[in-house]
Amino acid sequence: MTGNRDMTAETDFLRPLVTVDVVILTLKDGGLQTLLMKRAAEPFRGDWALVGGYIHPEEDDDLEAAARRILGVKAGIAAPYVEQLQGFGDRRRDPRGWTVTFAYVALIASEGMMLSKGANADSVAWWPVAGSGVEPALAFDHTRILAAAVTRIRNKVEYTSLPVHLMPPCFTLTDLQRVYEQILGRPMDKSQFRRRIAEAEFLEAVPGEFRLASNRPAQLYRIRAGLSTIFFDRTI
């Protein structure tokens, strides 16, 4: 943004191509899954890629708005939780030359997610995340971006309340513990887990709401209004 030269003079032909790519994550079938699209155009036609697009200066107020619009238009998803991951830019990620992208991560609850109906329905699919990637090779440098996203989320789950964004509106404490365990890949102590959640005070019991089964009924909880992600003092 600084510099002595005139802006337009230097940038008319050096301006790199700018995109926004979104790593969409959910918890399905006991593990993390990510939403990918099959590319219809060159380059990398036919390859799987992150959901992405261009900034629309007339419509988008800022980068996050662009990410949310792309999420809605291309994947039919309105994600409550979107966070910027990292910028990527070099001369090799796109065969056409120097490009940059702003990578975002979106977390959505596995229930109530709608894939875009219509034209490109068969070119959109959920892929299970194994390790920090998916089975198919991805277009551009999307393998690297996906890996960075999965690593970031796994790390953050250790010390934040981030998994609540993967939950339906109401859930039991045991449900939440299962989600933590699935992402972290290790069992957790029930008593300790509940102590932490209670201390953090980011959930509230839904009065009179219980999940019934052939055992003691479980209290349902929801996120306290107006709260964003909580950072625990230490680890969960």
Partner DNA sequence: CCAATAGTGTCTTTCAGACATTATAAC
Partner DNA sequence: GTTATAATGTCTGAAAGACACTATTGG
Work out whether 192 is an interface residue with DNA (CB under 7 A): yes
Residues of this chain, 209-228, that bind DNA according to CB under 7 A: 212-219
Structure tokens at 47: 């390859």
* CA 107, 111, 112, 113 torsion-angle sign: positive
DSSP type of residue 102: E
| Count of residues that bind a second copy according to CB under 8 A | 56
What is the pattern of x (binds a second copy, CB under 8 A) and - over residues 83-122? -x-xxxxxx--x-xxxxxxx-----------------x--
Q: How far apart are CA 172 and CA 219, in angstroms?
A: 6
Work out whether 160 is an interface residue with a second copy (CB under 8 A): no
Q: Which of a second copy, DNA, none lies near 2, with the C-beta cut-off 5 to 8 A by kind? A: a second copy
Q: How far apart are CA 137 and CA 182, in angstroms?
A: 24
Shortest separation between residue 220's beta carbon and DNA, angstroms: 8
Report the residue from 2, 119, 191, 225 that binds DNA according to the rule CB under 7 A. Answer: 191
Q: Report the residue number, 19 or 161, with the smaller CB distance to a second copy.
A: 19
Choices 41-49, 64-72, 101-109, 169-177; region in contact with DNA by CB under 7 A: 169-177
Long-range contact set of residues 218-226: C-beta below 8 Å, sequence gap at least 24: 218/172, 218/173, 218/174, 219/172, 219/173, 220/170, 220/171, 220/172, 221/170, 221/171, 221/172, 221/173, 221/176, 222/169, 222/170, 222/171, 223/164
Work out whether 122 is an interface residue with DNA (CB under 7 A): no
Q: How far apart are CA 63 and CA 102, in angstroms?
A: 8
Structure tokens at 198: 């209670």
Q: Which of DNA, a second copy, none lies near 57, with the C-beta cut-off 5 to 8 A by kind? A: a second copy
36: enclosing H helix or E strand: strand 31-38
Q: How far apart are CA 157 and CA 164, in angstroms?
A: 10
Query: Which spans of this chain sit near DNA (rule: CB under 7 A)?
Result: 172-174, 189-192, 194-195, 212-219, 233-235
The residue ranges that bind a second copy (CB under 8 A) are: 1-7, 10-11, 14-19, 21, 37, 39-41, 49-57, 60-63, 66, 74, 84, 86-91, 94, 96-102, 120, 139-140, 142, 234-235
